[in-house]
Amino acid sequence: MDESPDNTAFGFIGNVLDDEVLITYAELDRKSRSIAANLQQMAKAGDRVVLLFQPGADYICALMSCFYAGMIAVPVYAPRMNASYERVLQVTQSANASVLMSTRQVVLQLQDAAWQALMQSGLKTLASDDEHLLPESEWKRPELRPDSLAVLQYTSGSTGVPKGVMLTHDHLITNSRMIARNMACNRESVGVIWLPPYHDMGLIGGILQPMYTGFPVHLMSPATFLQRPMRWLEAITKFGATHSAGPNFGYEHCVKRARPEIVETLDLSTWQVAGNGAEPVRAETLRAFSETFAPAGFRSTAFMPCYGMAETTLFVTGMAFQEGVHSIAVSRTALSQGYISQPVSPEDSTDLVSSGRANPEVRVAVVHPDSLQVLPDGQVGEIWISGATVAAGYWERPEDTRDAFHNHLAGDATPWLRSGDLGVMQEQHLYVTGRIKDLIILRGQNHYPHDLEKTVNGLHPAIRAQGVAAFSADLADAEQLVMVVEIDRKYREGQDFLKAIIRDAISKHHQLQIDQLVLVAAGEISKTSSGKIQRLQTRKRWQAGELALLEENLSQMQTGARNDA
């Protein structure tokens, strides 16, 4: 900020690309100091401040004001009007927050019945856009150390109850340094990001790392991207972006929405790093994206599959700059038995995409989850991580912190984080294969739910994209396979036909029988605010009879392949 105060720090894209609000480092600094002065009048250093904002300048100023005030920021996804605030209440209570900060419009609604539970404990509120904020001259520099807590980063809850990951200022700086080195970020870089700013990938990668390096980022809301995915690529074209990232489904959405007449208007030749993480990276998605957008100048070497999580601040492993994608074909059968080998037939083959090598500042091992021994190359086990970027633990959850963060390998006094993810190492490359809690074990065989879901996702246009959840349940004294499938609202007939093609595909590709196949309305499958499928939550709602099932006994639908265009 001191070196280039008038440079653009962030741009905030509206409904059209030309509708962008810019904020310089100097403006960000002044606004953050003013808000921090007010925070210092309301609470003390180390107190937790819940940030309840939609993506935009208000959110970033509020985040920085917490750092300026020496307080701990607690970013929370802000639901739309009249939506459930259950998660907001859950996080606010978990963090034992002293202040809830938002805009005037939201703060005024805190008197409504839905907010009363938040106010009963004496929670204070602050509107960051209040006309009567104290001047920046009232701000006092806090006493901060590298190990001072900066953020409680609440996990998305894809496999359980959200937990507040404790990140210090040193964690944020260390991980930003790691990302800058691996992704070749510098002051000449330009970013475009649509990821939710409340989770690790959007918060650390999309906001804090660019500030650390000193390059501008153009931000759009996740809702803007989801409404029209091509706007992401149009923004990269308009701003000449060099760095942008997203989960696999983001690239998939772009391929499905691409039209030749749109592609020819794009220029993706400036895109140097296309990060792909936060969910399984699919080789077919990367190939399809590269082929679709090569006419627009996209180079496949820009793809950078990577791996990380909230508990490691963000980044752990990644491919090298401009190295591109590295994938291997392995046997489905062998993978289900806990190791990788060459496929014995095309039907037995599945691709694994490398998430790269460990950053020099961390150690990564694949460990047997029971014996706690490091496994040799080619064996599937739990991914463990150690290093300065691993978080301090979970806020006020000592048992969960001990179980996850304080683990040791034989003859090694260093604490290791148990990620809960399954993976395999091969020639220093890490291949992530799934989540331990999501793993489906049927008749002694392991099956990864995202593999089953992928098989169903492309079968018919009636099946909603990213609208399939696979899990196991204990039924009739046996573990059985359950699949919940969302059906697009414009298709309300032909359930028998849909069920037949789904069962046939799972049988053909995975040699499995679906014990319970449930067709539901669009939007019924539980997801995190960042779009991850919550399989355990979906299972819980299914078992409780809370899912809205489609009507039965409907006539047969015409057949047809999915049109992804």
Classify domain 8-234 by CATH number. Answer: 3.40.50.12780
User: What's the residue count for the chain?
Assistant: 565
Residue 88's pLDDT is what? 82
Return the structure tokens found at 491: 């298709």
Classify domain 327-435 by CATH number. Answer: 2.30.38.10
Residue % of the chain over a pLDDT of 90: 59
Rounded-to-integer distance, Cα 185 and Cα 204, Å: 14
- The answer, yes or no, to whether residue 553 has pLDDT greater than 50, is no
Q: Which CATH class is domain 441-543?
A: alpha beta
Each residue of 217-250: pLDDT tens digit?
A: 999 998 899 889 999 999 999 999 999 999 888 9
Q: How confident is the model at residue 557 (pLDDT cuts 50, 70, 90)?
A: very low
Q: How confident is the model at residue 552 (pLDDT cuts 50, 70, 90)?
A: very low
Residue 160's pLDDT is what? 53
* Mean local confidence (pLDDT), 275-284: 85
- Please check whether residue 461 is in contact with residue 491, taking contact to mean a CB–CB distance below 8 angstroms: yes
Each residue of 162-173: pLDDT tens digit?
A: 789 999 999 999
Mean pLDDT is lowest, of 44-48, 54-58, 80-84, 430-434, for: 80-84
Each residue of 299-350: pLDDT tens digit?
A: 999 999 999 999 999 999 999 999 999 999 999 889 888 999 999 999 899 8
- The answer, yes or no, to whether residue 466 has pLDDT greater than 50, is yes
Q: What residues does each domain of the chain span?
A: 8-234, 327-435, 441-543
Residue 205's pLDDT is what? 93
Residue 554's pLDDT is what? 38
Residue type, 357: R
Specify which residues 482 forms β-bridges with.
471, 516
Buried b (16+ CB within 10 A) or exposed e, 67-103: bbbbbbbbbbbbeeeeeebebbeebbebbebbbbbbb
- The answer, yes or no, to whether residue 40 has pLDDT greater than 60, is yes
